[in-house]
DNA sequence: GCTTGACCTCGAGCCGAGTCTAGGCGATAT
DNA sequence: ATATCGCCTAGACTCGGCTCGAGGTCAAGC
């Protein structure tokens, strides 16, 4: 898969994909004879994972830490799990905060509804 | 209430409070004889609202739009409600995305759990 | 009467995360 | 054979949202 197709598949710009590679979130992607990136299935799997994690607000920095541990083999399992747990806790908190905001929005919208049907 | 106390109450830095005032999210706050801000209850109510909305990922820009409509009286009710609805939709989507990431994190953590109890 | 601490203003600086520009190459279509 | 297209690189730029620094005022305590 070339960059444009990957970009379309995961809804990430080519610029961002190159950026991720540059900063080490992706391994060095294989190139064809003319220097064009050919993304393998495992590259794509990682991209999908990164996209999902970024969606959960996981920072680039945390992903770098996690991914660099992947190369360390089984010795890094505990450390990797610790990162995931920490990110899970952060995500949970963030979701709760967002939910509180959403509830507030709904409450205010209901008030506007009431107000509008009254005034009319 | 002076700025330090407000800051502590809502867990927002004084810098940010001044910034919000500068960009119009807060009205011009009353000053005492020596030029120090004295936040009223209604100022605080608005700060609390802003904090909650920012927690739900509502952009500064959307808040500016909403808040500037408040001065327009009843004529702007429909418009204000429209903003809230739009922000609600965005928040809902964002929460769903975050939840997907959280689920993925939990799934991976479970896998690490299994892996670790096996290897040990 | 001087220090200390909380506050003030203005403008510049910072951070995370991309995003864009310029200049260039190789393959395909006309 | 020349134009066009998709891709390449390096490095600069953007954007949202704060955050900081310098330099200054004022009230209270020693």
B107 touches chain A (CB under 8 A): no
Instruction: Report residue B117's pLDDT band, with 50, 70 and 90 as the boundaries.
Output: confident
Helix pair angle (A41-55, B77-119), 10° resolution: 130
CA angle A104, A86, B14 (to 5 degrees): 50
pLDDT value for B63 = 98
Pair of tokens at residue A110: 């209901």
pLDDT value for B120 = 54
How much is the average pLDDT of A52-65? 98
Instruction: Report residue B119's pLDDT band, with 50, 70 and 90 as the boundaries.
Output: low
d(Cα A22, Cα B115) in Å, to the nearest integer? 31
pLDDT of B78 over the 90 cut? yes
Residue in B56, B78, B87 to test binding to A, most A beta-carbons within 10 Å: B56
Q: Cβ of B97 < 7 Å from strand C?
A: no
Task: Count the alpha carbons within 13 Å of B26 in the hemisphere toward its beta carbon.
Answer: 26
Round the average pLDDT of chain A to a whole number and report it. 96
Q: Cβ of B34 < 7 Å from strand D?
A: yes
Q: Do the beta carbons of residue A88 and residue B70 sit within 8 Å?
A: no
How much is the average pLDDT of A40-56? 98
Q: How distant, in Å, are the alpha carbons of B93, B96, B104 from that of A43?
A: 27, 25, 18
Round the average pLDDT of chain B to a whole number and report it. 96
A80 touches chain B (CB under 8 A): yes
pLDDT of A120 over the 70 cut? no
Pair of tokens at residue A97: 């905060």
Model confidence, pTM: 0.94
pLDDT of A49 over the 70 cut? yes
User: Which neighbouring-strand residues pair with A31?
Assistant: A37
How much is the average pLDDT of B59-86? 96
Question: What positions of strand C are covered by protein, i.e. any atom < 7 Å from a CB?
Answer: 6-9, 16-20, 25-27
């Amino acid at each position: 898969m070339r960059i444009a197709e990957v970009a379309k598949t995961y809804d990430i710009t080519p610029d961002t994909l190159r950026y991720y590679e540059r900063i080490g979130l992706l391994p060095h992607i294989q190139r064809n004879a003319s220097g064009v990136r050919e993304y393998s299935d495992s590259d794509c799997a990682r991209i999908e994972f990164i996209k999902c994690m970024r969606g959960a607000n996981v920072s680039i920095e945390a992903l770098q830490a996690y991914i660099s541990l992947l190369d360390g083999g089984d010795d890094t399992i505990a450390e990797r799990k610790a990162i995931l747990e920490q990110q899970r806790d952060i995500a949970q908190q963030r979701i709760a905060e967002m939910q509180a905001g959403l509830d507030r929005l709904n409450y205010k919208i209901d008030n506007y509804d009431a107000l509008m049907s009254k005034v009319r």
